[in-house]
Structure 1
Amino acid sequence: MDIEFIRKAIMYVRKWFYMLSTVPRDLRALVCYTKLQWKVWHAKRNNLCVPELFETVAYKKRNDIAFYFKDESWTFSQVDMLSNQIGNYFAFKGVEHGDVIGLFMENRVQYICIWLGLCKIGAIPALISSSIRLKSLQHCIKMAACKAVICGAELQQEICDIQDDKEISKLQVFVSGVDERKLVIKDWVNLDAAVYNGDPTRPVQLQYVNFGDDMLYIYTSGTTGLPKAVRITHSRFLVFTSSIYYFMKLEPRDVIYNPLPLFHSSGGMLGTGQALLFGCCTVIKEKFSSTEYWTDAIKYGATAGQYIGEMCRYLVNQPKKPEDTKHKIRVMFGNGLRHHIWNDFKNRFQIPKICEFYGSTEGNANLINMEGHTGAVGFLLLTAPKIYPVALLKIDNKTKEIVRGVDGMCIKCKPGEPGEIIGMIKKNSFSNFDGYVDAEATQQKIINDVFKKGDFAYVSGDILVMDKRGYVYFVDRTGDTFRWKGENVSTMEVEDIIYTVTGHNDVAVYGVQIPGYEGRCGMAAILDQEKSLDLVDLYAALQMSLPVYARPLFIRVVKHLKKTDTFKIEKYTLQEEGYNPSIVSGRLYFMDQSDGAYVPLTVSLYSKIVNHEVRV
């Protein structure tokens, strides 16, 4: 008998075996997907926006706790009332449907009430990261065309630092969390005092807010420089939040522990949205604390918890204590949990199920590991692949660009073959791609003629791989960004700051891996032929201008940087060479946060870093 025939027959049988073994899983997913579709269809049919959906929940659960924060407990009625006061106040101040208002605050319940109130009058809150400063902060306010800024009292100085910008100096700034005596600038308005006795009734403008309107702007780093504002419509907020609810099998009685920033999609949508749309109780944490995670979970009776990968590593590295297993958390969901600590984390803290998801704020190629399969970020339906139009496309291993066949169409990856994940764009469906405020940036994330002439898809810039049962695993990121401490870092933004300090010498910023850490930390190769680089000034500038996660941990001083024919610095070789002083040429330095300076990277220090004897 022909050996090739036998081989093909065995492969065919195996393919069907794997497919049949996934039928129960796929059926469970289809049930959840049907519930999600019905929820969205009902809202679309009745033109219900998120605040209107919240009103229904708030009416039914008016006296139940919606949010915990420190020792505060907020009922659904209180959240509804304060958000009404906020909406009515800004409507009185002349804010209209479609106006953008910058929101620059640290975590607290008022943060949610403020953006919810603005949404009730059709305004669009732009959720600006509380960790950005100077140029990035200016950019976020200006590129979203903010008509005013609402600032937390704790961040007043950051706004003062950019007041010399003529466009920003014209904006009215409202401050929350401070009395009049503590206002930094006279012209600023104490928002808390202004709305204290405000109208608590439903804003009349809410009747004109539509299901498809822009609801929020959430910023993401992207691959081309400074943060980009992603358009979050009411429909997108509903899809994202409902997906977590149905696929994670959450219930209205669940208490969700959310220590993530509220300006992020994970904390601001997926966490708080469970309270607003489904009546769960959400615990808001000012900032994540590895020493308080489980004590907080016990204190508030949390039954579900959120994470990002680095948080899990921090928790595992904490000394063991009785509180590790005295909580009631039955499911944890998030993204970025490293495969090698997955089971250690699950077993140590006795978490029944960990549900990793994959996605981006702007993307439509989103996956959920509802089964808790170790290491996976989700799965593709093998039994019904066309129902959810997400695919992995074959890429060139060196350039990371999508490969096309002889017919000009893209090629789907086979099991075990890494590829870029994409989501097909279909108008008026879950697969729509709303994009960024910047139309040009939106077009850069779209490719056409994917599987047939005239079709379109969103390209994620992420490389994943699928196994024979359809489970998908994260591999790496393409593009000119890297991810560190759960945050996307734009290399161009970091380079711009270094350019300024060094007198515009050539510089390349890229991500490098440290064994045992999630993502890649920053490294900068700086051209310094004259030996004039001042590391003290560089350190000070980076400390002032960048959040902690974006500051390069390693500096490499070189006499030559190789460029392409289009005058772009080649980063691939630099990234491959890394930071081992025994191998790499040029002077190497490490950001020693305890000393507050860049110090020479010796062989001994390198060994301590890779062996986790030095904090990074």
Structure 2
Amino acid sequence: MTTLDSASAVSAAPPPRASSTAGWIGALERTARIDANPERIFPLVLDAVAAERAGAPALIGTDETLTHGDLAARRHRYARWALAEGLAKGDTVALMMRNRPDYLAIWLGLTRIGVRVALLNTNLRERGLAHCIQAAAPRILIAATNLAEAVEGAWPHLASPPELCWQGEGAEASLAAQAARFSGEPLSADEAPAVTLRDPALLIYTSGTTGLPKAARVSHHRIMMWTHWFAGLADPGPDDRMYDCLPLYHSVGGVVAPGSVLLGGGSVVIREKFSASRFWSDVAETGATLFQYIGELCRYLTLAPPDPQERAHSLRLCTGNGLRPEVWERFQERFGIPRILEFYAATEGTLSLYNVEGKVGAVGRVPSFMARRSPALIVKHDVATGLPLRDAEGRCVPTEFGEAGELLGRLSDKAEYTFEGYTSAAESDRKVLRDVLKPGDAWMRTGDLMRRDAQGYYFFVDRIGDTFRWKGENVATTEVAEALGRTEGVMEACVYGVAVPGTDGRAGMAALTVEPGFDLARLHADMAERLPAYARPLFLRLTEELGHTETFKQKKAVLAEEGYDPARTADPLYIDRDGAYRPLDPALYGQIAAGALRL
């Protein structure tokens, strides 16, 4: 193990690199060779990197830093430990640890010998955690000792608990201590079974915002495609450092962000969680040149007080998804970010979109020379059924430019377009749509509404289910939230539909966090200017804090359930009435509930 002090960690950032077709060409070149050798899996690729960059830092944590050589030796020891435990190709091990360098070493070592690793969400408890463990059916659960309480809470809910292996301080025979007995040299051909790109590598769970989390299957081929494609787009080199404070149990934070940089011999700064107050000083001190974001993190930073270090960084590129247009420009201008690379993808998805040109608000673009290769299709959506609209012949109807519809991904036998699905066959079947353009074809439903312009740029509209219907019109919550967010004083907006007695559909309601001096009259005027009447929020709720999941997604379901009933919340409530937002008190609510008030 090697340690670095903050002074030696800082390196000069390379100049910004051009965001042009070079990114597309780099990604295509990086991925074109993947299928040439079916047994060249990601851990073996990193072995080659370690042979050339053994002494260079690879993973920089708060408690330890691993060089590329250290990381290689550690994953080799974990692989040999697994073999000694009798784990075989096809077996599953669950991993539950908070962000740290050792996390990556464990799953890289185990997948090297064909063991599938289920990456458990460290925020889950009791039945939710038990559900995820049962979905994976692991032989062994590797858990950090500082998560013992969570593990113990889930144990009574498991019909067949796995064997437990603890990692960390206080463990009688920790994984690290057991693995230390084995050699850190690369595994020989006769030590490990042959593992191919088509073999399973990971189980990564969906967020569970619409039900219990689903375990998505991730093959070695998908890991290679993710890491090499992003390495081509971002072009990380040996001097690059990725700042990664996203959960390592997710595909972006745990595979894409670190993997793409390790490929180029660079390093990854791993932090347990995001801290707005410490972010810029940490980025500056570590010499980070890349930052992997979720859009909400950028919004938090733009709302934070000025930081003397906020423009003292070496960042050349910030990449991620979910960066709203109203935040994008503020974030880039305030902090002097040379380039933003926004993308769209899903762990289980068969298509991805990339905005290499940096067009504000777009999630991606398919350039003309990529059109034949792209599996993306937008089809008209029926809000009443929640399904794609079919024509008289039973086929889906592609949208016109500028028209919103559901994004689909074409499926085929080609590895990159194969839907690997979930551990649940029923959940997998629900994601596949057949006979879309012709008899027998198959496409994966993304569940996202998109629109595309004539230049090939794709724009996210809403999640299916978040869109609601009011006054005979479809309302996209994301577009309304964006309009609200552009009003001075609005810090965050969460938009959802609520039922109103005696009316069809659902009326719009917005929960807002606002700054001191926020002007309701200004908001009302802005909504009248920016949105059609049917899309303007009928109800408002001003709250100090909007609930978020561990991946910073808004907890709309709770807010929608509480609705606009003053008895359900102490937050101030308002209704759009007589040309202004006016207080909604119990008496007025009673009239609405009785259907006596015309809206």
Q: Give the structure-2-normalised TM-score.
A: 0.76
Residue in 2 that maps onto 1:347: 333
Task: Please give the alpha-carbon distance, in whole angstroms, between the structure 2 residues aligned to 1:550 and 1:64.
Answer: 36
Task: Please give the alpha-carbon distance, in whole angstroms, between the structure 2 residues aligned to 1:456 and 1:340.
Answer: 36
Task: Please give the alpha-carbon distance, in whole angstroms, between the structure 1 residues aligned to 2:448 and 2:255.
Answer: 22
Q: Does 1:193 align with 2:177?
A: yes
Choose which of 162, 167, 172 in structure 1 pairs with 2:163: 172
Q: Offset of 1:32 from its aligned partner?
A: 3.2
Distance 1:523 1:192, change over 3 A: farther
Give a deviation string over 1:236-264, Cα, whole Å, max 9, x none.
01111112111223334311111111001
For 1:96, what is the secondary structure of its paired residue? Answer: coil
Task: Please give the alpha-carbon distance, in whole angstroms, between the structure 2 residues aligned to 1:275 and 1:29.
Answer: 15
Q: Does 1:433 align with 2:406?
A: no
Residues 522 and 550 in structure 1, CA contact (< 8 A), matched pair in contact too:
no
Q: Offset of 1:586 from its aligned partner?
A: 6.6
Task: Please give the alpha-carbon distance, in whole angstroms, between the structure 2 residues aligned to 1:404 and 1:429.
Answer: 29
Amino acid at match of 1:208: A
Task: Please give the alpha-carbon distance, in whole angstroms, between the structure 2 residues aligned to 1:174 and 1:43.
Answer: 34
For 1:146, what is the secondary structure of its paired residue? Answer: coil
Amino acid at match of 2:26: C
Residue in 1 that maps onto 2:34: 40
Residues 23 and 232 in structure 2, CA contact (< 8 A), matched pair in contact too:
no
Q: Residues 113-262 of structure 1 correspond to what in structure 2 (within 5 A)?
A: 113-165=105-157, 167-169=159-161, 171-180=162-171, 189-203=173-187, 204-221=190-207, 225-262=211-248
Residues 217 and 229 in structure 1, CA contact (< 8 A), matched pair in contact too:
yes
Residue in 2 that maps onto 1:81: 73
Give a deviation string over 1:175-226, Cα, whole Å, max 9, x none.
111134xx6xxxxx42222223333233455451111110111000367621
Choose which of 281, 306, 326 in structure 2 pairs with 1:295: 281
Cα root mean square deviation, aligned: 3.3
Task: Please give the alpha-carbon distance, in whole angstroms, between the structure 2 residues aligned to 1:279 and 1:481.
Answer: 44
For 1:78, what is the secondary structure of its paired residue? Answer: helix
Residue in 2 that maps onto 1:312: 298
Residue in 1 that maps onto 2:451: 465
Task: Please give the alpha-carbon distance, in whole angstroms, between the structure 2 residues aligned to 1:388 and 1:555.
Answer: 38
Distance 1:304 1:551, change over 3 A: closer
For 1:231, what is the secondary structure of its paired residue? Answer: strand
- Structure 1: segments with no counterpart, 5+ residues: 1-23, 184-188, 483-511, 526-545, 557-573, 590-599, 610-616
Distance 1:451 1:144, change over 3 A: same
Amino acid at match of 2:295: G
Q: Offset of 1:283 from its aligned partner?
A: 0.7
Residues 140 and 163 in structure 2, CA contact (< 8 A), matched pair in contact too:
yes
- Structure 2: segments with no counterpart, 5+ residues: 1-17, 469-479, 486-490, 500-548, 584-599
Give a deviation string over 1:79-120, Cα, whole Å, max 9, x none.
111111111112111111111111011000011111111112
For 2:65, what is the secondary structure of its paired residue? Answer: strand
Task: Please give the alpha-carbon distance, in whole angstroms, between the structure 1 residues aligned to 2:19 and 2:388.
Answer: 30
Residue in 1 that maps onto 2:401: 415
Residue in 2 that maps onto 1:112: 104
Give a deviation string over 1:63-88, Cα, whole Å, max 9, x none.
11101112532101111111111111
For 2:141, what is the secondary structure of its paired residue? Answer: strand
Q: Offset of 1:30 from its aligned partner?
A: 4.9
Distance 1:197 1:476, change over 3 A: same
Q: Offset of 1:431 from its aligned partner?
A: 1.7
Residue in 2 that maps onto 1:390: 376
Q: Offset of 1:133 from its aligned partner?
A: 0.6
Q: Residues 446-457 of structure 1 correspond to what in structure 2 (within 5 A)?
A: 446-457=432-443
Residue in 1 that maps onto 2:590: none
Residues 64 and 101 in structure 2, CA contact (< 8 A), matched pair in contact too:
no
Q: For this pair of structures, how many residues does the alignment match? A: 498
Task: Please give the alpha-carbon distance, in whole angstroms, between the structure 1 residues aligned to 2:467 and 2:204.
Answer: 18
Q: Give the structure-1-normalised TM-score.
A: 0.74
Task: Please give the alpha-carbon distance, in whole angstroms, between the structure 2 residues aligned to 1:76 and 1:61.
Answer: 6
Task: Please give the alpha-carbon distance, in whole angstroms, between the structure 2 residues aligned to 1:608 and 1:120.
Answer: 62
Give a deviation string over 1:315-350, Cα, whole Å, max 9, x none.
111111221111110110001111111111000110
Q: Offset of 1:405 from its aligned partner?
A: 2.4
For 1:102, what is the secondary structure of its paired residue? Answer: strand
Task: Please give the alpha-carbon distance, in whole angstroms, between the structure 2 residues aligned to 1:122 and 1:254.
Answer: 30
Give a deviation string over 1:547-600, Cα, whole Å, max 9, x none.
6968958868xxxxxxxxxxxxxxxxx68xx84xxxx457322xxxxxxxxxx2
Q: Residues 7-46 of structure 1 correspond to what in structure 2 (within 5 A)?
A: 28=22, 30-44=24-38
Amino acid at match of 1:35: E
Residues 107 and 285 in structure 1, CA contact (< 8 A), matched pair in contact too:
yes
Q: Does 1:323 align with 2:309?
A: yes
Residues 521 and 552 in structure 1, CA contact (< 8 A), matched pair in contact too:
no
Amino acid at match of 2:180: Y
Residues 293 and 319 in structure 2, CA contact (< 8 A), matched pair in contact too:
yes
Amino acid at match of 2:371: P
Residues 40 and 238 in structure 1, CA contact (< 8 A), matched pair in contact too:
yes
For 2:388, what is the secondary structure of its paired residue? Answer: coil
Task: Please give the alpha-carbon distance, in whole angstroms, between the structure 1 residues aligned to 2:435 and 2:415.
Answer: 19
Distance 1:177 1:343, change over 3 A: same
Task: Please give the alpha-carbon distance, in whole angstroms, between the structure 2 residues aligned to 1:448 and 1:58.
Answer: 45
Q: Does 1:602 align with 2:572?
A: yes
Q: Offset of 1:406 from its aligned partner?
A: 2.8
Query: Sequence identity, in percent?
Result: 32
Give a deviation string over 1:421-469, Cα, whole Å, max 9, x none.
1110111242221111222211111111122222111110001111221
Task: Please give the alpha-carbon distance, in whole angstroms, between the structure 1 residues aligned to 2:236 and 2:360.
Answer: 20
